[in-house]
Amino acid sequence: MKQKLTCSELCRKYRNENVHTEYVTALARDIFERTGAHLGLSSDDFSSVVHETGTARETLRQLMLLQYRIIADARSEILKRHHPKDLHDLRVAIRRLRAALRLLRSRGTDRVAARLNNLLARFCKSLGPTRDAQVWELFLHLPTTGALAPRTAAWRAYLNLVHRRTARLTTTLTRTMQSDKWLELSMTTKRFLRGSMVRSSPIGNDALPFASLADRELKRLCTGLRGLEIDASELTPEELHSLRRKIRRARYWAEFLAPALPRSSVPTLAEIFRRCAGRLGDAHDMDVYIARLRRGRIAGTSRMEEGLLERRSRAVRKFQNTWDRRFRAELLDRITG
C-alpha cells in the first residue's frame, strides 16, 4: 500500500520540484482522502471541487476545509519540531482562509465570517515575533553570514542573546499551540465551516459554478495590480512592504482557488504571485535584519550590513525581472482573456 504523505511533506516535495499544479492537486487529493467524515467530506467531494461542478458556496466551503486541514497539520509539525517552515505554513494557510472570509464579509453573507476573520487575524499576528526570531537566528548561523561577522566577544554575546530570546518565544509558541486560545480558534473555525456556512445565504447566484465567482474576484484583484508601474529599486522599505502586502493578498486568493481550478491559468498565476511576493519578502527581511544590526550597536558589523544591502538589491532585481517579463503578460491575459 502506498504511504501517504503529510501536508507538510507534500508541500516540501512539490515545492522542491517546482510543479505547482501537481502540488495543489496532489495536496488536495491527499487531504480530502484522509479527512473524510472527520471534516464532513464525502468521497466525491474532491472530484466535485476539482472538476468545478460544485455550487459557489459549497465549493468555497470545501476549499476552506482544505486550508483548515493544512493549519491543523502545520500545528502538529510545530509541536514535533522547532523550525520556521512549519510556522510559515500555518500562517500562510490562515491567510488563505482569511481571503475567503473577506469575500464572504464583503458580500454580507454572514457576520460570523467577519468575527472569525478577526479571530484568525489576531492569532496569526501573535505568531509573527516568533517567526521573525526563528528566521533571524537561522540567518545568523549561515556560513555566508558567519564569514562576514566580527570575531569578537561582543558578537558571541549577541548570538547567545538571540538564541535565548528565540528559545523563549519558541517555548511560548508550543504552549500557545496547546492552549485554550488554540482550542477556541480551532473549534470556532470548525463550527463555522460545518454549521454557520452551511446555513448561510447563497453567495450571489449560488446555482452558478464556483469558477464564475472565482474568476470575478481574481480579476478584481488583478485589476488593482495591473495599473502599478513599479521600479522597486526606488522604493523605501515601507513602500516595498506595502507593495508586498498587495501582491500577497492576490497570491493567497489565487492559491486558495488553485485546487479547484487546476486546468485554468490560476495555478500559474498563483505561482507568479508567490515568486513576486517571496522576492519582496526576501528584500523586506534584509531591511528588518539591517535594522536589528543597527539596534544592536555591535562594533565590526559594517561588512555584514554591506552584505545585507547586496542581498536586498539581488532580491529586488529578481522581483523586477519576474514582474516585468512574466507577471505582466500573465496578468494582462487574466484580465482580458
What digits encode the pLDDT tens for the residues 122-162?
999 999 999 999 999 999 999 999 999 999 999 999 999 99
Q: Alpha-carbon distance 263 to 261, whole Å?
A: 6
Extract the C-alpha cell encoding 168.
523563549
Q: Looking at residue 204, what is its pLDDT?
A: 52
pLDDT band with cut points at 50, 70 and 90 for residue 227: low
pLDDT band with cut points at 50, 70 and 90 for residue 42: very low
User: Does 95 score more than 90 pLDDT?
Assistant: yes
User: Does 71 score more than 80 pLDDT?
Assistant: yes
Mean pLDDT of 154-174: 95
Q: Alpha-carbon distance 258 to 270, whole Å?
A: 7
In total, the chain counts a number of residues equal to 337
What digits encode the pLDDT tens for the residues 182-203?
999 999 998 888 877 766 555 5
Q: Looking at residue 312, what is its pLDDT?
A: 95
Q: Looking at residue 337, what is its pLDDT?
A: 60
Q: Looking at residue 316, what is its pLDDT?
A: 94
Spacing of C-alpha 227 from chain mean position: 24
User: Does 225 score more than 80 pLDDT?
Assistant: no
Higher pLDDT, 225 or 96: 96
pTM of the model: 0.79
Least confident of 2-6, 155-159, 234-238, 248-252: 2-6
What digits encode the pLDDT tens for the residues 256-296?
887 777 667 788 888 888 989 999 999 999 999 999 999 98
What digits encode the pLDDT tens for the residues 102-114?
877 665 556 778 8
Q: Looking at residue 26, what is its pLDDT?
A: 47
Q: Alpha-carbon distance 181 to 119, whole Å?
A: 10
Q: Looking at residue 172, what is its pLDDT?
A: 94
User: Does 2 score more than 50 pLDDT?
Assistant: no
Q: Looking at residue 38, what is its pLDDT?
A: 40
**Percentage of residues of the chain with pLDDT beyond 70:** 74
pLDDT band with cut points at 50, 70 and 90 for residue 55: low
Mean pLDDT of 29-43: 43
Name every residue whose Cβ is closer than 8 Å to that of residue 189 and which is 6 or more positions away in sequence: 68, 71, 97, 116, 120
Q: Alpha-carbon distance 99 to 271, whole Å?
A: 17
Q: Looking at residue 112, what is its pLDDT?
A: 79
**Percentage of residues of the chain with pLDDT beyond 90:** 39
Q: Alpha-carbon distance 69 to 82, whole Å?
A: 20
Q: What is the dihedral of CA 6, 93, 210, 34, to 10 degrees?
A: 20
Q: Looking at residue 51, what is its pLDDT?
A: 46
pLDDT band with cut points at 50, 70 and 90 for residue 32: very low
